[in-house]
Amino acid sequence: MRIGQFTNAAFDPTQRPVIQPARLDHRFVSQKWQRWPYNLFSQGFLLAEAWWSRATSGPPGIKDSNQRIVSFAARQWLDAFSPSNFAWANPEVVDATLQTGGQNLAAGLQNLLTDMLEATSGRSAQSQYKVGRDLAATPGKVVARNELIELIQYAPSTLQVRPEPVLIVPAWIMKYYILDLSPRNSLIRYLVSQGFTVFAISWRNPGPEMRHTSLDDYRTKGVLAALDAVNSVCGNVPVHGCGYCLGGTLLCIVAAAMARDNDKRLASMTLFAAQTDFTEAGELQLFINEDQVAFLSDVMQVQGTLDSRQMAGAFQLLRSNDLVWSRAIRSYLLGVREMPNDLMAWNADGTRMPARMHAEYLHRLFIHNDLAEGRFPVGGRPVAMENVRAPMFVVATETDHIAPWRSVHKIHLLNGGKLTFVLTSGGHNAGIVSEPGHPNRRFRIAVRPEGGTVLSPDEWLARADRRSGSWWPVWSEWLAQHSGPMREPPPMGSARFPPLENAPGRYVHEA
């Protein structure tokens, strides 16, 4: 910290800030932080934060995992001691306490006790949202089931549909209904309304008995089994594959193997916040190196799975000032309770991952980057993304801390086919759940023709077309352009895959 800068902040009569918080740091945005002495607290903290950031950064040109861990740990420590976290140093809390006679602190204590009770009982205020009634309520039938998945076929809502169905492969780290939340913001319901026959995989929430389930099981018993059922229902037509997060990575593995084996059942590929090259996978890499994966593997061998709470803790640390401390301030110091919503209810509905599958995923993809470097084995032979010929529609989100958009952008380097790349506002979840009519949504879009020049992320950002609103209609139009003329909807299920029960099925209810 420069003494002169702090002196300016302390004695400048205009009280102009000498340092601004980062773009996504909302702790000091209130004008109340411009008052003395609170401006000294915030400015002193931001100057100290900037100093520690420089002190824990290595010399230019040197990339060292230990240095990144030290920098990350320093930021976590600083976040804990931010003046915004202390009632006496936070002008918003001080004002609220004076105005309410301390009722905000009493309400905050009640919120704390409620959270502690919910943590021990397993019940949550989000439970007012019921899966199958308020969430995952788009009409449909479960038409296939095995030990790993249920496949849901959604009922048509238009008189005619495109002949090519859409198969959605969600991440098994989340319940599939992130794409089928409330009717107003359900991507699946939207697709159905646009004249598409939609199928979605609902992954089983694994228990210890599934500890030996492999990543290849997710390929064969998951995506390929679903694809067989879709072909049985819809006939011999190509399928629009759509993968979200880890589901998108798995879809890429499946597509690369299909291309190698001359299997042409994919009409197109859509990827939502999905990485194929993991060399710049963001700060999540801080938790994933050989030592840490070895330790995690030992833990998973005992448990049989990786628990959802263990994963959630790592994700929260990536944005601790926003996901941990700022929420604690609002709830426990200001006494303001966030109103439950469908996205929060989904987020509280955690899942687990089988020990073997997760260890294989971390070693082959995160640590060794086998898919991007042409070493990922399927059926004993490696696969390559370059062999995929289906056109691609790839969506990344601006503030994604799980799949950073510059990492997602690397798909341009791995495949020379026609590729439409979209960068939308929002994060890993909110950027995808971006329904038409949602306020303040925007996105950038650019099309790279087959064999076209590969742009760097910064070049792409400068040249991409900027648009306001939701990207969903653009994707729907893109799917229609890669589909045939409308025709009668297919039946619900087939002789080989008759309907088993109503959507959302039983696997989604597994806790």
Neighbouring C-beta atoms of residue 299, cutoff 10 Å: 13
Instruction: Note the helical H segments in 12-90.
Output: 38-55, 65-80
Contact 233, 494 (CB under 8 A): yes
- How far apart, in whole angstroms, are the C-alpha atoms of residue 321 and residue 313? 13
- How far apart, in whole angstroms, are the C-alpha atoms of residue 168 and residue 161? 17
Contacts 24+ apart (CB under 8 A), 205-209: 205/175, 205/351, 205/352, 205/507, 205/510, 205/511, 206/305, 206/352, 206/353, 206/354, 207/304, 207/305, 207/352, 208/303, 208/304, 208/305, 209/304
What is the greatest pairwise CA distance in the chain?
Answer: 81
Pairing of strands 442-448, 465-468: antiparallel
Peptide bond into 37 cis (omega under 30): yes
Tokens coding 116? 């502690």
Contact 118, 134 (CB under 8 A): no
Distance of CA 322 to the CA centre of its chain: 16
CA 241, 243, 248 angle in degrees (round to 5)?
A: 120
Catalytic residue, candidates 234, 242, 245, 252: 245
- Extended beta strands in 373-418, E state: 377-378, 381-382, 392-397
245 is catalytic: yes
Instruction: Note the helical H segments in 208-245.
Output: 215-217, 225-234
Distance of CA 489 to the CA centre of its chain: 32
The conformational region for residue 446 under phi > 0 = left, psi -120 to 50 = alpha, else beta, is beta
Residues annotated as catalytic are 245
